[in-house]
Amino acid sequence: MNCIIIEDEIPAQKILKNFIGKIPSLNLVETFKAAIEANSFLNANKMDVVFLDINLPDMSGLDFIKTVKNPPAIIMTTAYPEYAVTSFELPTIVDYLVKPFSFDRFLKAINKAKDRIEVSESTSEENNDETIFLNVDKTLHKLVLRTILYIESDRNYITIVTGTQKLSYVDSLKNWTEKLPETQFIQVHKSYIINSKFVDKISGNSIFVKANKIPIGRTYKQELLKALGV
């Protein structure tokens, strides 16, 4: 999960950075001392979690949340427990940490944020189950686009691989780059398109999609890393 810190006190920043570094699933992208800078960043970059102080030099953290379009999961970090009730009236706030807080308490907040994100993604996927039918060997196969792991091209044929299907027929990879959502599918090689949702790891010039090893073309690697937020 990509995250940012919005906190004007250096000691508090250090504690958060230390805790974040202990959780492999968290990736700290940026740290801000003021809300205005963070607002511009969030409008241009999609984050999963924001660690937000209430007392900031330019505006309060609670006022800041109201200015962000489609705000991510918010974890408040503050020395003022009296704002807790007001904070939980805002649906994007998943937890309220009162300084000083322990790593155990921090981890509970992360788990709450993770649960919220998973529910949100599941709901989004259910509402966007775009399907198509492919005529392969005189049989129509229903295909849910978001379930595609990767697509491989071999001369005049392409093979579409999901967790339960492997469909090969005459078509071109170019046609599929126009059909698939750009935010989810990435071309990583002249012969491969992958679904970023199922990426397990990148090792050298290979990317693993649900344990399937796929080569990364030299000219595609920079755009791939950028798309994955690396």
Domain 2-126 has CATH 3.40.50.2300: yes
Given this model, what pLDDT does residue 208 score?
96
Bridge partners for 189 per DSSP? 192
Q: Where in the chain is the domain with CATH 2.40.50.1020?
A: 131-227
Residue 208: phi, psi to the nearest 5? -110, 120
Contact 73, 113 (CB under 8 A): yes
Q: Where in the chain is the domain with CATH 3.40.50.2300?
A: 2-126
**Distance between CA atoms of 88 and 95, rounded to whole angstroms?**
8
Given this model, what pLDDT does residue 131 score?
84
Contact 216, 206 (CB under 8 A): yes
Given this model, what pLDDT does residue 37 score?
87
Q: Are strands 73-78 and 93-98 parallel, antiparallel or unpaired?
A: parallel
**Distance between CA atoms of 55 and 33, rounded to whole angstroms?**
11
Given this model, what pLDDT does residue 15 score?
97
**Distance between CA atoms of 92 and 63, rounded to whole angstroms?**
13
Q: What is the DSSP string of 139-208?
A: EEEEEEGGGEEEEEEETTEEEEEESS-EEEEE--HHHHHHHS-TTTEEEEETTEEEEGGGEEEEETTEEE
**Distance between CA atoms of 160 and 102, rounded to whole angstroms?**
47
Given this model, what pLDDT does residue 67 score?
85
Bridge partners for 27 per DSSP? 2
Residue ranges in the chain whose pLDDT is less than 70: 121-128
Given this model, what pLDDT does residue 90 score?
79
**Distance between CA atoms of 204 and 216, rounded to whole angstroms?**
9
Cα R_g (the chain), whole angstroms? 21
Given this model, what pLDDT does residue 128 score?
58
Given this model, what pLDDT does residue 123 score?
56
**Distance between CA atoms of 205 and 49, rounded to whole angstroms?**
30
CATH architecture of 131-227: Beta Barrel (2.40)
Q: Which of 41, 106, 113, 111 is nearest to 72 (CA)?
A: 113
pLDDT tens by residue, 128-171: 578 888 889 889 988 888 899 999 999 899 999 998 889 999 99
